[in-house]
Amino acid sequence: MLTFEITLQDHYRRLESFLRKLMPAAPPGYTRKLIKSGSAKLNGAAAHHDTLLALRDSVTLKESGIATGYLSAARPKLDILFEDDQIVIVNKPSGLPMHRTAECEENLVEFAQEYMAVRGTPCKLYPVNRLDRGTSGTVIMAKSSSSAGIYGRQVKESGLDKLYLALVIGQPPESGIINVPLDDKESETRFRAIARGESCALLAVTPISGRMHQIRRHLSTIGHPVMGDKRYGGGALADLSGFALHSFRTILIRPETGLLTVCAPLPEELLELCSTRGIEAEQLLAALNSRQEHQEGNLWIAKPS
């Protein structure tokens, strides 16, 4: 048996996504077959492909010529969190824009399309949701215009259940609701502090509405801007490609199978920034709820007093 221990870079990654990282050249569906057949196990037991991994979990893989041949020491350049024939969900790096801009030619959509082509599965990708260039985390892209329409309507009609992690300046209250109007429109953001460091706090943030730069602007209005967010008072940080805002968890409804929960492991630079500010990785992970709560979509609902 081949054994792999889960590190910080894969904490809260789906089991299938982890195996696909290990075997990026494997045919679509191969890793799921390994899980279903019991050739891939989690902590010595059978698991579902959607199971979210945790730090120090043990993933074992039955050794075979085929599986060993697909293993690669080099991790894929595109961090795919979930993929089927309709959509692909990726973990966007901070500092990478969604589309081509005058300031930066490299962008997520073209980069992902090039990756798909090199992999042998070329397709045009249509963003279902977007993140600011400085924000990292989950981005959904449809593989066809029809799929983009299906998921686009879902976003427009009911929105995506999204949860962000934000490292902010100062010491905000334990939880709260910010409902300052933005662009003359009603807006609401909920937050809860999950860890505190030196003159900073890590917040779990849920945007109820969907205004431009909503989280960044709202946190700035209460005097606790996102660290590294120069535009809204968070200052500049040389160690960050963008700012300390990460789209951590997204829940969407798939027409055929229902709810899908996808979490994006925290980027290394954000973990390092937290550490330098007194929030160690172990403390941060201990502040996260259990994986079952993640999968049921119940974590960190802000309950202001």
The domain limits of the chain are: 1-76, 160-251+272-296
pLDDT for residue 117 is more than 70: yes
| The pLDDT of residue 296 | 43
Averaged pLDDT score across all residues of the chain: 89
Bridge partners of residue 92, in order along the sequence: 137
* Per-residue pLDDT, 172: 97
Q: Is the pLDDT of residue 8 over 50?
A: yes
Q: How confident is the model at residue 104 (pLDDT cuts 50, 70, 90)?
A: low
- pLDDT tens-digit map of 129-140: 999 999 999 999
**267-292: pLDDT as tens digits:** 999 999 999 999 988 878 877 754 44
- pLDDT tens digits, residue range 189-237? 999 999 999 999 999 999 998 899 999 999 999 999 999 999 999 998 8
Q: What angle do CA 128, 134, 139 make, to 5 degrees?
A: 20
pLDDT at 134: 95
Known catalytic residues are 132
Q: What is the per-residue pLDDT for 28?
A: 78
| Chain Cα centroid distance, residue 172 | 24
Q: Which homologous superfamily is 1-76 in?
A: RNA-binding S4 domain (3.10.290.10)
Q: What is the largest CA-CA distance in the chain?
A: 62
Query: What is the reported pLDDT for 101?
Result: 74
Retrieve residue 56's tokens: 């120090």
Label the pairing between strands 245-254 and 136-142.
Answer: parallel
If you classify domain 160-251+272-296 with CATH, what class do you get?
A: alpha beta
pLDDT value at residue 289:
56
Asked if the domains at 1-76 and 160-251+272-296 fall in one CATH topology, the answer is no
Please indicate whether residue 206 or residue 304 has the higher confidence score (pLDDT).
Answer: 206
Residue 187 reports pLDDT greater than 90? yes
Give the mean pLDDT of 98-108.
79
